[in-house]
Amino acid sequence: MSHFSRVRTKLVNLDTLRNALEELGHQVLAESSMVRGWSTRTTKAELVVESGRDNYDIGAVRNKDGTLDLVADWSMIHVDQRAFVGKVSQRYSWIALKENARRKGYTVAREQVREDGVVQLVLRKFV
């Protein structure tokens, strides 16, 4: 028998999380909906994403401290949760950094993801 597991993150902004998931090719199914798991089990989430397996989803659940956990029946969707959370967190940080830089008057001069996964971002600000 399988079950839902929550993975703690430091992510806080639901819109940024949605954008990160979409940029990584995941289809966001709904907001404030139910995550589907094994044998018709469900759990409530603020954001629900297709997992790639029929009848199984990945969700984002808000904690009391404002952070978002990712919840899924990880064993049934056959996704390495550490790798998934790592990629999502990296893309989330990338998006948040660019948005924050834009608000402070910077423009993106160059973006690059190296083969080893390291992200490089060059910002420019004219004063």
Residue 53 has what pLDDT? Answer: 84
Q: Which of residues 78 and 117 earns the better pLDDT score?
A: 78
The percentage of residues in the chain with a pLDDT greater than 70, rounded to a whole number, is 98
- pTM of the predicted model, to two decimals? 0.87
- How much is the mean pLDDT over the chain? 92
Give residue-wise pLDDT tens across range 2-50.
689 999 999 999 999 999 999 999 999 988 799 999 888 999 999 999 9
The domain limits of the chain are 5-124
Q: Where are the beta strands (DSSP E) in the chain?
A: 5-7, 28-36, 42-50, 57-62, 68-72, 107-113, 119-124
What gap in Å lies between CA 65 and CA 68, rounded to an integer?
Answer: 9
